[in-house]
């Protein structure tokens, strides 16, 4: 796994419906491979669909999917004092953004997410979690007119690019969800595959799994594998099933989440591959969340689905954390699944 490329992908800015920079990077990397002209296409919604020829024709149509978009904030109004009112694009917690530096608009202006000072809060308000509606973005401007020359409603507020290694084999960055999955797909496409395989870099996962369903309807896969990041709650104060999954435990193979009941035979196959090939794995201990498998599963004629995820602390926050070793285990499993889904009785 190319860690530098993961950092590059995470550093790109591209929220739901604004995936242009990520898509451009992926298309440029695909052009370097000199694939047949009809092997790569961009659909009306902005998904990048790739068909990679393998050493042999595929018995089953298999699709690997990852989403290009990241969570962010969107400017909705310029306040009279020049600060910005905003709403979320995807699931962002107010507690995760208060006091954070951000990057605003096409000019990538510096900004800070502000909140009402504690001495102005009522006694009741001090006891409650922060409310996104009460936050604002401070650009350091002095008036509404000055801000309006720089930013307009609909502009995006991003968490700054900050990817770096730290600790004992960890990586911190914004947008690991799901630039990690995009990297795995690129690595698969660059490889000599044993069988023909389809790949989908999809849009707008964070706002309702909107791109993956249309991609699956076009590719019509028998099997679909979603490469994702999933919440790890292995933090102080959590225990038992509330930890969901843990950094350092390997690839996360889900049997069910809040949106999807995963194909049992595909789940069993993934576990068998991990145990036979020495790939570290774990499963989620809490049924929650969801990903593009939920839309792929019932798109078109339907598909059998599996999710392989890297455990990630502080998901949808300005600084998410993964173990590099877990990411490598996920990629090993992805490579192992390509021949297994064709050759084994699933």
| Residues labelled as active-site residues | 205
Which residues, other chains included, contact 318 with Cβ-Cβ below 8 Å and sequence gap of 6+?
96, 97, 100, 159, 160, 162, 174
Give the CA angle between residues 187, 264, 315 to the nearest 5°.
50
Q: How far apart are CA 332 and CA 57, in angstroms?
A: 22
| CA-wise closest residue to 27 among 60, 68, 79 | 68
Tokens representing 150?
Answer: 């720089």
Tokens representing 171?
Answer: 């990586």
Tokens representing 21?
Answer: 């920079």
What are the residues facing 67 on neighbouring strands?
202
How would DSSP label each residue in 197-229? EEEEEES--TTTSHHHHHHHHHH--SEEEEEEE
CB 63 within 8 A of CB 303: yes
What are the residues facing 195 on neighbouring strands?
56
Residue 289's region, left for phi above 0, alpha for psi from -120 to 50, else beta, is left
Query: Measured on CA atoms in the order 263, 266, 268, 271, is the torsion positive or negative?
Result: negative
| CA-wise closest residue to 178 among 224, 215, 239, 230 | 230
Tokens representing 297?
Answer: 């599963």
Q: For residue 310, report the phi and psi dihedrals to the nearest 5 degrees.
A: -90, 130
CA 292 to chain CA centroid, nearest Å: 10
Residue length of the chain: 346
CB 303 within 8 A of CB 156: no
């Amino acid at each position: 796994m190319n860690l530098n490329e993961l950092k590059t992908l995470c550093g790109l800015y591209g929220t739901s419906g604004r995936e242009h920079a990520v898509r451009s990077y992926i298309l440029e990397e695909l052009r370097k491979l000199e694939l047949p002209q009809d092997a790569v296409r961009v659909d009306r919604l902005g998904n990048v669909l790739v068909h990679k020829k393998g050493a042999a024709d595929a018995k089953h149509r298999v699709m690997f999917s990852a989403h290009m978009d990241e969570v962010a904030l969107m400017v909705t109004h310029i306040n009279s004092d020049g600060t910005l009112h905003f709403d979320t694009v995807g699931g962002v917690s107010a507690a995760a953004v208060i006091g954070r530096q951000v990057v605003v608009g096409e000019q990538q202006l510096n900004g800070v997410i502000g909140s009402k000072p504690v001495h102005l809060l009522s006694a009741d308000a001090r006891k409650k979690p922060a409310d996104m509606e009460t936050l604002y973005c401070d650009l350091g401007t002095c008036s509404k007119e000055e801000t309006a020359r720089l930013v307009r409603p609909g502009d995006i507020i991003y968490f700054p690019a900050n990817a770096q290694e730290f600790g004992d084999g960890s990586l911190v960055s914004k947008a690991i969800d799901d630039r990690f999955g995009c990297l795995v797909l690129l690595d698969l496409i660059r490889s000599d595959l044993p069988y023909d395989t389809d790949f989908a870099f999809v849009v707008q996962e964070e706002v309702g799994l909107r791109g993956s369903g249309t991609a699956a309807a076009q590719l019509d896969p028998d099997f679909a594998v979603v490469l994702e990041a999933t919440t790890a709650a292995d933090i102080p104060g959590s225990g038992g099933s509330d930890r969901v999954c843990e950094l350092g435990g390997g690839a996360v193979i889900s049997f069910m989440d809040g949106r999807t009941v995963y194909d049992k035979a595909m789940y069993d196959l993934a576990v068998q591959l991990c145990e036979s090939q020495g790939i570290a794995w774990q499963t989620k201990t809490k049924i929650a969340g969801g990903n593009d498998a939920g839309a792929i599963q019932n798109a078109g004629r339907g598909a059998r689905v599996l999710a392989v995820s890297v455990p990630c602390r502080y998901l949808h926050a300005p600084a998410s954390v993964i173990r590099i070793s877990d990411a490598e285990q996920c990629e090993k499993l992805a490579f192992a699944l390509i021949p297994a889904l064709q050759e084994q009785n699933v």
